[in-house]
Amino acid sequence: MAQVAVMNVDGSVNKIDRDSKESLDALRQLSALMLKAALQKEFAGIRLGADVAEEDGFYVDSDKDEQQVSADELSQLEAAIKAIAKSEAKVEFKELSVEEALASVKDDPFSTELINENAKDGKVAMYDLDGVLAVANAPVLVYVNLVKNYKLLSVAGAYWKGMSSNPMLQRIYGTVFYKKDDLEADLKARQEAKERDHRVIGNQLDLFFVDPKVGAGLPYWMPKGATIRRTIERYIIDKELADGYEHVYTPVLMNLDAYKTSGHWAHYREDMFPPMDMGDGEMLELRPMNCPSHIQVYKHHIRSYRELPLRIAELGMMHRYEKSGALSGLQRVREMTLNDGHTFVALEQIQDEFAKILKLIMDVYKDFDITDYTFRLSYRDPKNTEKYFANDEMWERSQSMLKAAMDSLGLDYYEAEGEAAFYGPKLDIQTKTALGNEETMSTIQLDFMLPEKFDLHYVGEDGKQHRPVMIHRGVVGTMERFVAYLTEIYKGAFPTWLSPEQVVIIPVSDEKHGAYADELAKKFKAAQIRAKVDHRNEKMGYKIREAQTQKVPYTLVVGEDEMANDSVSVRKYGEKDQNGMTVDAFMDEILHDIATYSRED
């Protein structure tokens, strides 16, 4: 097997297999160094920040006077990298005094900061590539001629060290592989990712927007996006009501003491917004979780064993502090609405209730056509005494209960130590995104701790007080992340029941056939079909193409024949042919489409 020479951060050099992950990481790190060298060569006086090899490529942060590096200049930089790769240059290791290192990057505040941060005993380890110095922060290939199959992808703004209080730099992204075929496959996958990116589709279909000027990580739902979200919310509420849940509304603000009691303040403080001092000793907190709120609903009355299982659900708005650099469309936000639910059960009811919740989740998945998912039992790491609630008996008991429940259902699962929440083990249902990444969609979590901390009781059949067990569960996660997931899975072509516009009616002549189109729209709306008439003064072909671009499931064209025969000419999204149908026949078809969640019979 071919090997490559890799230089380590201590200056030692060893050979590793070229096909290993470590080798690819070192190739990416070398490419980042070469990009740094190219930037210095092409743009005199440029200031250079981090050079990073990451999971899917590499990037370099930079800053220069006047205009930043533009996308139009990437080809120029690629040519400069190619010239370096063809030279006899190789990476050399240097251990410089801090003074020498700082002198080499004078007038560059970002490189200066990196050097000071990495200095040890008055010295700093650095890589030297053709006279360009960079802090040695990761293993790197020695020979530059191995960088042949690369591509600079894009430029984007990035705050220095990910903090919005720092200057905005220009981040240049790239990808690189040893083999040309691997590069081409990667570029093809990236194009598919771009076409499925919910942020791109959300802009094209006018579903939502986020404007950092009025609040980073705070999405605004436009009418079409709001329609999709509202349809999901109505669906899930009806589904939960039918399954025995009682829906509530609870405030987004809560006294900080509740989160101290629950343990969120101790374990989750970095992800919570600062408390609000009301001036009279009361401290209010934007809630990061809904469970303490639902506990208050339970505590509001004396509970009897006859009420258990008591199922409480809410589309609960929560707020979590996310650093600005981590925010992304609807997937990472600061305000979110969770499809949340909590069931309070007696000990002997756990297994049956667990199975009932799991069945609900799998039924919902079926309606949304989610088929690629796996089960993960998430346990605590017993060695991590700081993260997890200290009660060995509780952990052993609850973990064994979840495992027994899964075994009784005959479902395959895998076990993950260290993935539990701080207050209890859980079942995570892992789904595959449109691009093959894994993420947690749904969760069922046992909790013996919070009922203890909040001193919850119910009166048993024996007339004595007993402690309930709390089960946390989320069926589809947050509305924000779920809509992002669906947008990418469907590539914006939502099934009819979810589509914000289900029917567009196009009159051949608005003057002659517009009134008929309006009558049809009124009839469809009365049947809860989302329909609109395109009255714009545009050519019919343009309107049809526009409906296809907006991915409307059904486009209806109406003219003289349709008016005379009480019919419509139907064109489905993605199809070229049009079919004539009576209005009643079309309504039967689309209503069946909606009622069956657009599944094939």
How far is 528 from 274, CA to CA, in rounded Å? 44
On whether 472 is known to bind a ligand per the annotation, the reply is yes
* 508-514: long-range contacts, CB 8 A cutoff, minimum separation 24: 508/540, 508/557, 508/558, 508/559, 508/560, 509/559, 510/535, 510/537, 512/559, 512/560, 513/558, 513/559, 513/560, 513/562, 513/563
Q: Write the DSSP assignment of 450-463 as a string of letters.
A: HHHHTT--EE-TTS
Half-sphere exposure of 161 (CA within 13 A, CB side): 9
* Three-state secondary structure call for residue 444: strand
The helix-helix angle for 392-409 and 350-367 (nearest 10°) equals: 50
On whether 592 is known to bind a ligand per the annotation, the reply is no
Between the alpha carbon of residue 490 and those of residues 20, 445, 486, the distances in Å are 35, 29, 6
Half-sphere exposure of 155 (CA within 13 A, CB side): 17
On whether 247 is known to bind a ligand per the annotation, the reply is no
107: how many CB neighbours lie within 10 A of its CB? 8
Query: And the tokens for 407?
Result: 């075994």
Between the alpha carbon of residue 460 and those of residues 312, 342, 347, the distances in Å are 20, 20, 12
Show the DSSP H helices in 54-108 as ranges. 74-86, 98-104
Q: Write the DSSP assignment of 129-190 as a string of letters.
A: ETTEEEE--S-EESBGGG--EEEEEEEEEEEGGG-TTSPEEEEEEEEEESSHHHHHHHHHHH
Closest by CA to 405, choosing from 427, 381, 430, 421, is 427
First to last CA, the chain: 53
Between the alpha carbon of residue 185 and those of residues 54, 180, 190, the distances in Å are 18, 9, 9
Show the DSSP H helices in 197-336 as ranges. 198-204, 212-215, 223-242, 256-262, 264-268, 291-299
335 - beta bridge partners? Answer: 319
**Which phi and psi angles does 134 have, rounded to 5°?**
-145, 145
Query: And the tokens for 64?
Result: 């220069």
Report residue 497 CA to chain centroid gap: 23
**Which phi and psi angles does 45 have, rounded to 5°?**
80, 5
- The residue type of 399 is Q
Residue 399, judged by CB atoms within 10 A of its CB (0-12, 13-18, 19+), counts as buried
Closest by CA to 208, choosing from 194, 220, 195, 196, is 220
How far is 243 from 357, CA to CA, in rounded Å? 9
Closest by CA to 317, choosing from 340, 292, 344, 283, is 340
Per the annotation, where are the binding residues for Zn(2+)?
291, 342, 472
